[in-house]
Structure 1
Amino acid sequence: MVTLAIAAFIFNTTEFVPVGLLSDIAESFQMETAQVGIMLTIYAWVVALMSLPFMLLTRQVERRKLLIALFILFIASHVLSFLAWNFPVLVISRIGIAFAHAVFWSITASLAIRMAPAGKRAQALSLIATGTALAMVLGIPVGRVVGQLFGWRITFFAIGVGALLTLLALIKLLPTLPSEHSGSLKSLPVLFRRPALVSIYVLTVVVVTAHYTAYSYIEPFVQNVAGLSGQFATVLLLILGGAGIVGSILFGRLGNNHSSVLISSAIALLLACLLLLLPAAQNEMYLAVLSIFWGIAIMIIGLGMQVKVLALAPDATDVAMSLFSGIFNIGIGAGALVGSQVSLWLSMSSIGYVGAVPALAAFIWAMIIFRRWPVAMLEPQHHS
């Protein structure tokens, strides 16, 4: 379980680490930050497009072998990122990583649930989520510090080394895990006939787009709009991530019984943070406090959605989760794209306001659907 959590940490660190390195990468290829940001969108959309097809292609493959293969692809792609002699090569290396990522997230949540002792499903997920949270807490800022000290290439190289060590641990520790409950294409129409589940998917894509519209460009925002130092950008990313751990603990305590209220409140909090982003940019203290609430909100939203998806699709967890991962990544890509367009055409200072529009829509939608399907959202107790 812990190794899986570490794997989650590594996969998420690499997805988001460019957020902290955008300015450096742009500089090294003589490009604009908003142009380099397209790399985030390509990565996220490849994950989104490939999650389901790859999961269905690999659904008969024994899970331990599959994880080992994923890690080999992942490590090789990082070596290519390290060597990338121009921007297109960097993008190609990121697509390789995205392929590995797509399969990894489709199977991880259900593996965690399978390996968890009875009655500990929420905790098992919460452990994986903590790996994810730590990626935002430590991964992005540490990646940024390494990038600033030794160059962004070394950051990617270091992630590859971390993945190699994790791979060795997985080879040693993981038992043989035949594939099960993965569902198949037949479960797709079944899942799409569940209005409660489909509404959660819709909510996910809208709220994630809102978050990433601003979050993808937080590093150039802090430096160019708020006029603060690169060091402060690192600190801010640390605070945002650290708050995620608080969100994760809160959710672990309250999530099983009050997930709907928690998610709705978190979306309202996210909306407030996006609206206050520009006003808060006048002062380091304001931005720091804002980041705490933002970090807590986004972590609760991410965890809450996963718990609801698993509760609504106990019969096809892999298909449901790979759809969730795909949809989440559509949101990441859309947010990064909107953020880059806003930065290029309007001004980077308005990313918070633009992000607030889908956040408001998400809040209204959450209110509607949690009222409409209050009970179906709870984790079924009979089903272990």
Structure 2
Amino acid sequence: MDRVEPSAAAEAASEHVSLKRWLAVVAVAVGTFLVVTAEQLPVGLLTSIGGDLGVSEGTAGLMVTVPGLVASAGALLVPVAIGRLDRRIVLLALISLMVAANLLSFLAPNFPVLLASRFLVGISIGGFWALAAGIAVRLVPSSHVPRATSIAFGGATAANVLGVPAGTLIGGLTDWRIAFLTLSGLGLLAVAALFVLLPGIPATGSIRLGALLALFGNSFVRGATIATFLLVSGHMAAYTFVSPVLRDVSGIDEDLIGPLLLVFGAAGIAGTFLAGAAAGRNVRVTIAAVSVLLTAVLALFPLVGATAVTGVALLILWGLAFGGVPIAVQMWILKAAPDHAEAATALNTVVFNLAIALGALFGGLVVNGASATAVLWFGAALTVLTFLAVWSTRRA
């Protein structure tokens, strides 16, 4: 088995990247796709899971909150705890944990056991996502780093905009348990691919918790993480309950929600490419534009999304807007701390997953205490603050 040298300079002498190295980058992206999909898979299945296990939709939302909270802690602690352990071994262990956790979800006889499986999913997500980008960029020479980063984080983006819709469709056509079982099976394929393709990746050094938290002293890192938190928490507060929103607000039949979320995913992929190109020119303007569009969609949904046609139209715009979020905030965080890519990515992963968890948690409280309409306005109130946060930072 070959190894990646601790210093990127060792590979910089050659611009050629072997096919196996690119396939290794793709394998990391697939792993990222699967762990992030695992985190958010219950979003489109809340109604069926709640009905089957006898819990309310708001309570079922804990299946998103629990792994999000655990992942935010895991992203902070795993890079510190693993010290100088070979990153290849760590990734294989984390993706294997995801496989086992989803198998437990498939077998869960009641809601507490299901939540326990979601706890394990959170550990896998936090560690894998935090390490993925830093590993991907070490597989290629410096001139190929932008492409490798885009591919690696393309997995997270695809999970946010495509993984959940696909899982919802599988669950709708079969059973919600089959969706978890399918994800577990795909995870086994990812384990095999990573085992074959990923070289040994020795640590460049251990990450200290204090040094990681000290990155908040960088005003650009701080601005990027605040933008991440507001955009993701606002989106997740509403998106966690997109099934009841489409059903109750737009009057859309539940059988159509799975296919419609695939349309949402397709719009998200388009948004990823558009935002990626725009962020390459001006990250701050791109994030501000995304926040304005996302806020407008969430705020207008209860007012003009009361029919199936307008509801679908707004859902497409919603996907287009959020599709640009993961790639835009990641580009900002890497530009803010180019010499601390692994630590900065871990920090942003903490915030991203904390936002998922708290967005789903408070969204559930709003749904239980008020309605699906109210959760849309709650989400809009959070995302609109992103515009202010972005423009309050100095121009990089």
TM range (shorter): over 0.9
Counterpart residue identity of residue 328, structure 1:
F
Matched, 1:164 2:188: yes
TM-superposed CA distance for 1:125, in Å, is 2.2
Identity across matched positions, percent: 32
TM-superposed CA distance for 1:181, in Å, is 5.8
Once residues 264 and 219 of structure 1 are traced to their aligned partners in structure 2, the CA distance between those partners, rounded to angstroms, is 27
Q: What are the superposed Cα offsets for residues 325-377 of structure 1, whole Å, 9 maximum, x if unpaired?
A: 111111111111121111111111221111111112111111221xx2x12xx
Q: Which runs of 4+ in 1 moved over 6 A?
A: none
Once residues 206 and 339 of structure 2 are traced to their aligned partners in structure 1, the CA distance between those partners, rounded to angstroms, is 8
Larger deviation, residues 154-163 vs 291-300: 291-300
Matched, 1:59 2:83: yes
Once residues 303 and 35 of structure 2 are traced to their aligned partners in structure 1, the CA distance between those partners, rounded to angstroms, is 34
Once residues 155 and 244 of structure 1 are traced to their aligned partners in structure 2, the CA distance between those partners, rounded to angstroms, is 21
Q: What are the superposed Cα offsets for residues 256-277 of structure 1, whole Å, 9 maximum, x if unpaired?
A: 2221111111111111111111
TM-superposed CA distance for 1:137, in Å, is 4.1
- Alignment equivalent of 1:29, drawn from 45, 49, 53: 53
Larger deviation, residues 276-285 vs 214-223: 276-285
Matched ranges for 1:287-366 at <5 A? 287-366=311-390
Matched, 1:92 2:119: no
Residue 6 (structure 2) aligns with: none
Counterpart residue identity of residue 211, structure 2:
S
TM-superposed CA distance for 1:189, in Å, is 5.1
Q: What are the superposed Cα offsets for residues 178-216 of structure 1, whole Å, 9 maximum, x if unpaired?
A: 112664234235412212211221222122111111111
- Alignment equivalent of 1:196, drawn from 220, 225, 231: 220
C-alpha contact 1:213 1:351 (8 A) present in aligned 2 = yes
Taking structure 2 as the reference length, the TM-score comes to: 0.90
Once residues 315 and 58 of structure 1 are traced to their aligned partners in structure 2, the CA distance between those partners, rounded to angstroms, is 20
Residue 382 (structure 1) aligns with: none
TM-superposed CA distance for 1:128, in Å, is 2.4
Distance 1:119 1:250, change over 3 A: farther
C-alpha contact 1:183 1:315 (8 A) present in aligned 2 = no
- Alignment equivalent of 2:139, drawn from 115, 127, 130: 115
Distance 1:233 1:243, change over 3 A: same
TM-superposed CA distance for 1:244, in Å, is 1.5
Q: What are the superposed Cα offsets for residues 90-128 of structure 1, whole Å, 9 maximum, x if unpaired?
A: 000111111111110110011122223433333222222
Counterpart residue identity of residue 228, structure 2:
T
Once residues 190 and 367 of structure 1 are traced to their aligned partners in structure 2, the CA distance between those partners, rounded to angstroms, is 23
C-alpha contact 1:107 1:318 (8 A) present in aligned 2 = yes
SS in structure 2 at match of 1:361: helix
Structure 2 gap ranges (5+): 1-24
Larger deviation, residues 246-255 vs 266-275: 246-255
Q: What are the superposed Cα offsets for residues 280-301 of structure 1, whole Å, 9 maximum, x if unpaired?
A: 3222222222222222222222
Once residues 185 and 9 of structure 1 are traced to their aligned partners in structure 2, the CA distance between those partners, rounded to angstroms, is 26
Matched ranges for 1:253-268 at <5 A? 253-268=277-292
Once residues 366 and 218 of structure 2 are traced to their aligned partners in structure 1, the CA distance between those partners, rounded to angstroms, is 35
Counterpart residue identity of residue 218, structure 2:
R
C-alpha contact 2:172 2:258 (8 A) present in aligned 1 = no
Once residues 361 and 136 of structure 1 are traced to their aligned partners in structure 2, the CA distance between those partners, rounded to angstroms, is 22
- Alignment equivalent of 1:180, drawn from 200, 204, 210: 204
C-alpha contact 2:161 2:319 (8 A) present in aligned 1 = no
State how many pairs are aligned: 372
Larger deviation, residues 199-208 vs 96-105: 199-208
Counterpart residue identity of residue 355, structure 2:
G
- Alignment equivalent of 1:206, drawn from 213, 216, 230: 230
Counterpart residue identity of residue 300, structure 1:
G
Once residues 75 and 169 of structure 2 are traced to their aligned partners in structure 1, the CA distance between those partners, rounded to angstroms, is 31
Taking structure 1 as the reference length, the TM-score comes to: 0.92
Residue 271 (structure 2) aligns with: 247
